[in-house]
Amino acid sequence: MKYYLVAGEASGDLHGANLMKALKDQDPEAEFRYFGGDKMKAEGGHLAKHYAEMAFMGFTEVVLNLRTIFRNLKTCKNDILNYSPDVLILIDFPGFNLKIADFAKEQGLSVCYYISPKVWAWNQKRVLKIKKIVDHLFCILPFEVDFYREWGMEVDYVGNPLLDEKASFVPDIDFCEKQGLNSGQVIALLPGSRKQEIERLLPAMLSVTEEFPDQQFVVAAAPGFPVVYYQQFIGAKNVKLVFGQTYDLLHIATAAIVASGTATLETALFHVPQVVVYKGGTISIAIARMLVKIKFISLVNLIMNSEVVTELIQEDCNTINIAENLARLIEGPWREKMLNDYKDLAEIMGKPGASARTAALILQYMQKK
C-alpha cells in the first residue's frame, strides 16, 4: 500500500519512524511519502518537507507565522493529491493535521490519526468535528478512550510508543566516563527542544545550581542547537551538556527538572523523581488559562489523575520554588512517595508494542474497505 504520513515535530518524527518500521514489517509492499524528519527519512520513502520548517509554539508564535503555516498547508494538500495514497496517517500536531484531515475527507481519502489531538484539554466540542473527518483514531493515553466514548466516538487504545523506546534502550555503560561525570548525584535538566521553551525555562533551571554544590547538573540538549547556544545560558556554571543521549542521562540521574510535555512521562518511566516547569508568553498563557479545561499540565499527573509531580507554572516557576522542590526529591519521604506512584503509573501504562499494534490495526481496517 501507499502511505502518506504527516508529522510536524521531533516527537512525531520519532513515532512516525517507528510506525513506518512496523508497517514495513507487516506490509512488504509498503511505500511512503511524508512530512517528517531525519528519523522517518532513515526508514525510507520520500521526505516532502522537514518538520523544522513547521513547528511553532504558543498562540503568539502561531499568529506571527501564519503566512508560513498556510503555505505549508497548501504544499501538503497538493502533495497528498499528487501522491494519491491508499491511506493518510496523521501523527499528533493537531493545529495543522486536523485541517489536513478535513481536506482529505473531502477528497475521499481514508484518514487514520495516530496520537490523539488533546481535545480533552480545551475546546472539547472539536470531538464532533473529529468524528466526521477521521476514520480511525489511535490513542496512546489510557484515559482518552473513556473521554471519546462520552462523546459517542469509539477509538483504539494502542499503548504508548514511549514504552517501545524505553524497551529498546540499551544503556551506554561508559556514559559517565565519556561525559566526565564523577560518582556523585546527577540532576538532569530537560528544558525542551524548542527555542522558545529553552529560552524561557533553562535560565530558571540553572538558577538553582549554586544551591546544590554537591550535585552535578547536566542539560539534555536538543540536537538542533550548537554548544555555543547553550553556553550563553550556562556561562561559568559547572554544568555539562549531553546531546542525543537523554535516556542515558535519565538512566543515571538522581532527580530532574523537566519542561512540561512528553519528557515528563519519559522521566517517570525511568523512575526519576522530577519537578515540572512551564513558562509561556504573556499573551499565550492568558489565553490558555481562559480555555484550558484540565487540572494538570504534566502527562504524569493527567494519567494518574492526581498530583504525583509538582507543577511550577509561570510566576511559580522561580528559583525558590524549584530549589525547594528539588531538595525534597534528592532524599526523603517525598522522593519515596513519588517513586511508589511511578510504579502505579507503569501498571496503568501497560506493555510496549504501540507501533506494531497501530500498524496491524491500520492494515486490518484498510483490508476491510
**Domain co-membership, 143 together with 184:** no
Identify whether residues 327 and 182 lie together within a single domain.
Answer: yes
Predicted confidence at residue 341, as pLDDT, reads 97
Both 18 and 133 in one domain: the answer is yes
pLDDT confidence of residue 262: 86
- Sheet-wide strand order for 2-7: 46-50, 31-36, 2-7, 87-91, 111-114, 136-139, 156-157
Residues 245 and 273 both lie in one domain: yes
Q: Is 0.95 topped by the overall pTM?
A: no
Q: Which domain holds residue 147?
A: 2-159+353-367
Beta strands 310-313; 216-221: pairing state: unpaired
When divided into structural domains, the chain yields a total of 2
pLDDT in tens, 46-77: 999 998 777 555 544 555 556 777 888 999 99
The arithmetic mean of pLDDT across residues 343-348, rounded, is: 94
Residue 192's contacts (CB-CB under 8 Å, 6 or more residues apart) are 198, 201, 222, 259, 261, 263
Which of 78-92, 190-204, 321-335 is predicted with the least confidence, judged by mean pLDDT? 190-204
Beta-carbon contacts of 146 under 8 Å, excluding residues fewer than 6 positions away, are: none
pLDDT tens by residue, 174-196? 999 999 998 789 999 999 988 88
Q: In this structure, are 311 and 331 located in the same domain?
A: yes
What are the helix (H) ranges across the chain?
Answer: 10-26, 38-42, 58-64, 66-83, 94-106, 126-133, 143-150, 161-168, 175-179, 195-206, 227-234, 246-252, 262-269, 282-291, 299-304, 319-330, 333-349, 354-367
Band (91; pLDDT cuts 50, 70, 90): very high
For residues 338 and 347, what is the distance between their CA atoms, to the nearest angstrom? 15
Buried b (16+ CB within 10 A) or exposed e, 121-143: eeeeebbeebeebbbbbbbbbee
- The mean-pLDDT minimum among 194-208, 249-263, 290-304, 331-345 falls in 290-304
* pLDDT band at residue 254 under the 50/70/90 scheme: very high
Residues 149 and 183 in one domain: no
pLDDT at 286: 45
Q: What is the CATH number of the domain that holds 218?
A: 3.40.50.2000
Whether 236 and 307 share a structural domain: yes
Q: Quick one: pLDDT band at residue 290, thresholds 50, 70, 90?
A: very low
Same domain for 77 and 54: yes
User: Helix 126-133 crosses helix 94-106 at what angle (to 10 degrees)?
Assistant: 40
What pLDDT, on a 0 to 100 scale, did the predictor assign at position 287? 39
CA–CA dist 137, 148 (Å, integer): 10
**Whether residue 67 sits in one domain with residue 99:** yes
User: Domain check: are 216 and 113 in the same one?
Assistant: no
Residues 139 and 222 in one domain: no
341 and 233 in a single domain? The answer is yes
CA pair distance 73, 97, nearest whole angstrom: 9
